[in-house]
């Protein structure tokens, strides 16, 4: 039986993965978070991989407070870059395979067609820069790793845009939402399923095609249209008003366009990706 370690298992994606792997009999999984395995502690990681005979590591741990990161640079890099390097080095030494999660924020958002894995990166925020640095140190320390860039992640767990909009729409008569940022939401349960399918593929085909991949749900939307759908599905009566980004200033810059091209991940692993509207309906 293969042993799968999920780091950051109390986060949105980690929690979805825990739920999913808990139902599978072919893998034994162990979930850790900062209280049980702090990835900034290098020695602890190596010891943990050996003790638990880990075959796969799915790294869901991250510093994800995008605006706070602008002032909290050192901690953001410590978790999003240095801890990923620690993990990569330990995994390489232990011959464990790493699936690491990254972000659409590695792009500057100036494109008008979906971003491919080979497109030039140009992060515009501390968070985006630290995540890009994490990708780079991981692929250097442990070239046999898969990096999945995702975007607009939400789940029934944790704090996220969907849960915030449901709450605000229940409390208020009107909500102003940015209408000129385009992207695709990702239901964390779908991404978790894709990750489990990648591990199953690797076991079945006895190959682990390392490198960078893009994953989000299918389709394209804006935060404004996404919110309208969230409110409609929740049966709430709230007037959603479109506003430009200039009327909603944030400390960290967001990409204006961050649709990800998913051809590579779909073709390599034979994945079928659900449409964002259908997945939103499943998230309660």
Ligand X SMILES: NC(=O)c1ccc[n+]([C@@H]2O[C@H](COP(=O)([O-])OP(=O)(O)OC[C@H]3O[C@@H](n4cnc5c(N)ncnc54)[C@H](OP(=O)(O)O)[C@@H]3O)[C@@H](O)[C@H]2O)c1
Instruction: Give the binding site for ligand X (CB under 6 A).
Output: 7-8, 10-14, 33-34, 38-40, 60-62, 64, 79, 83, 101, 103, 131, 150-153, 158
| Distinct helix (H) and strand (E) counts, the chain | 10, 12
* E strand segments, the chain: 2-7, 27-32, 56-59, 97-103, 145-150, 153-154, 174-178, 182-183, 186-187, 211-214, 221-222, 239-243
From CA 257, how far away is CA 28, in angstroms rounded? 39
CB of 73 to ligand X, least distance (A): 15
CB of 54 to ligand X, least distance (A): 15
Three-class secondary structure of residue 146 per DSSP: strand
CB of 1 to ligand X, least distance (A): 25
From CA 267, how far away is CA 205, in angstroms rounded? 14
Nearer to ligand X, 39 or 175 (CB): 39
CB of 149 to ligand X, least distance (A): 7
CA distances from 170 to 164, 236, 258 (A): 10, 6, 29
189, 195 Cβ separation under 8 angstroms: no
The separation between CA 197 and the C-alpha centre of its own chain, rounded to angstroms, equals 16
Residues with a known catalytic role = 127
CA distances from 211 to 107, 109, 118, 263 (A): 17, 22, 11, 14
Which residue is closest to ligand X by CB? 11
CB of 239 to ligand X, least distance (A): 26
From CA 4, how far away is CA 52, in angstroms rounded? 9
| Paired strand residues for 178 | 243
CB of 60 to ligand X, least distance (A): 5
Contacts of 221 (CB under 8 A, 6+ apart): 182, 183, 184, 185, 229, 276
From CA 238, how far away is CA 99, in angstroms rounded? 40
Report the chain's C-alpha Rg in angstroms: 18
């Amino acid at each position: 039986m293969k042993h799968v370690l999920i780091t950051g298992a109390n986060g949105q994606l980690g929690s979805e993965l825990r739920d999913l792997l808990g139902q599978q009999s072919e893998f034994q999984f162990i979930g850790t978070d900062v209280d049980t395995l702090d990835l900034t502690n290098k020695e602890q990681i190596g010891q943990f991989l050996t003790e638990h005979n880990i075959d796969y590591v799915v790294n869901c741990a991250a510093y994800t407070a995008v605006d706070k990161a602008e002032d909290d640079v050192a901690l953001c890099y410590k978790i999003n870059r240095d801890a990923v390097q620690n993990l990569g080095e330990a995994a390489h030494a232990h011959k464990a395979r790493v699936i690491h999660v990254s972000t659409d924020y590695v792009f500057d958002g100036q494109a008008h067609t979906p971003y491919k894995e080979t497109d030039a990166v140009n992060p515009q925020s501390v968070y985006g820069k630290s995540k890009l640095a994490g990708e780079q140190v991981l692929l250097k320390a442990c070239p046999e790793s898969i990096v999945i860039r995702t975007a607009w992640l939400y789940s029934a767990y944790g704090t996220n845009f969907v849960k915030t909009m449901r709450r605000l729409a229940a409390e208020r008569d009107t909500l102003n939402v940015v209408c000129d940022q385009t992207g695709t939401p990702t239901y964390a349960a779908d991404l978790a399923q894709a990750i489990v399918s990648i591990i199953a593929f690797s076991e079945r085909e006895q190959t682990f095609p390392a490198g960078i991949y893009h994953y989000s749900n299918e389709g394209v939307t804006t935060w404004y249209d996404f919110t309208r759908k969230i409110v409609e599905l929740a049966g709430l009566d709230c007037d959603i008003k479109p506003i430009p980004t200039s009327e909603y200033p944030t400390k960290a810059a967001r990409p204006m366009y961050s649709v990800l091209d998913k051809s590579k991940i779909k073709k390599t692993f034979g994945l079928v990706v659900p449409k964002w509207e259908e997945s939103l309906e499943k998230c309660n």
